[in-house]
Amino acid sequence: IFHYQARDGLGLSGVLMRPLGDSELPAPLILMVHGGPEGHRRDGWLTTYSAPGQLAAARGYAVYYPNYRGSTGRGVAFSKLGQSDAAGAEFDDLVDAVDALVEAGIADREKVGVTGGSYGGYATAWLATRYSDRFRAGVMFVGISNKLSKGMTTDIPVEDIMVHTRFNPYTNWQFSLERSPIFYVEKCRTPLLIAGGTADTRVHPSQSLQLYRALKLIGKTLVRYVRYPGEEHGNRRAAARDDYARRLMRWMDHFVSEGNT
């Protein structure tokens, strides 16, 4: 468990996997952000097809699973800290985690990648646009790019209102726009791999398409969009899971570990 302080003094922690052998520090870092945001990562075997931590550590990466504010596992009050503040202090916590890992001599500031699915995909898109200068690569999976349209296309609109945003999706237009990665898309210079299923009702595929189309039209960074036919909010088929894990690691290897542009 790696502990650190957010910029406002809040104590936070997450699960750190050091690179195999611990021989090369500071190491390239992959920040693996959980979804929800009401979820958390416990110390244990965390590798999945969409967050291949041990696989990355075996390839020389430091891997960090941050439990940012709004996560579960620390009581109801803590899990509510992200309400009504999408992409606010909760995602600043992620940048602060990177800074703490760099200061501790674990992570190489010039070699940082970020990935996550669903709300973690939202975080990935946000960090690749709003904080593009800090991240060498991003892999966004079933993620949110436009808060204006997400609330009106999801299959959980009431949960969105009651648990996450605390307001109806057709109100607070400017706030929602400014908390959308699409708002900062012209700043993006982070190579971004976007992926998701064509049958996703939780985060509609149009969220991926909008970000992909904008980045392609701007033409200032490398972007690729992979669509998995028939998959929903996460891949269920073994072939689709295998394909995604391989693409994720190839993307990180090429842009983060090898430093290609």
Query: Longest Cα pair distance anywhere in the chain, in angstroms?
Result: 52
Tell me the pLDDT tens digit for each residue of 184-213: 999 999 999 999 999 999 999 999 999 999
pLDDT at res. 23: 67
Point out the catalytic residue in the list 118, 132, 180, 208. Answer: 118
Residues 81-96 have a mean pLDDT of: 96
Residues 213-237 have a mean pLDDT of: 98
Point out the catalytic residue in the list 40, 164, 204, 233. Answer: 233
- Count Cβ atoms below 10 Å from residue 89 Cβ, excluding itself: 17
Q: Is the pLDDT of residue 254 over 80?
A: yes
pLDDT at res. 82: 92
Residues 69-94 have a mean pLDDT of: 95
**CB neighbour list of residue 36: distance below 8 Å, 6 or more residues apart:** 70, 71, 72, 118, 119
Residues 3-19 have a mean pLDDT of: 97
What is the percent of the chain with per-residue pLDDT over 90, rounded to a whole number?
A: 93
Q: Is the pLDDT of residue 47 over 80?
A: yes
Pick the range with the lowest mean pLDDT from 120-134, 151-165, 224-238, 243-257.
151-165
Query: How confident is residue 261, by pLDDT bands cut at 50, 70 and 90?
Result: confident
pLDDT at res. 133: 96
| Helix, coil or strand: residue 184 | helix
pLDDT at res. 22: 66
- Spell 211-228 as b/e; 16+ CB within 10 A means b: bbebbeeeeebbbebbeb
Average pLDDT of every residue of the chain: 96
pLDDT at res. 89: 97
What is the percent of the chain with per-residue pLDDT over 70, rounded to a whole number?
A: 99
Cβ burial, residue 248 (10 Å; 0-12/13-18/19+): buried
Is 118 among the catalytic positions?
yes
Owner of token pair 């039209």:
217
pLDDT at res. 21: 83
Q: Is the pLDDT of residue 135 over 70?
A: yes
Tell me the pLDDT tens digit for each residue of 141-176: 999 999 999 999 999 999 989 988 999 988 999 999
Look up residue 154 and give its DSSP letter: -
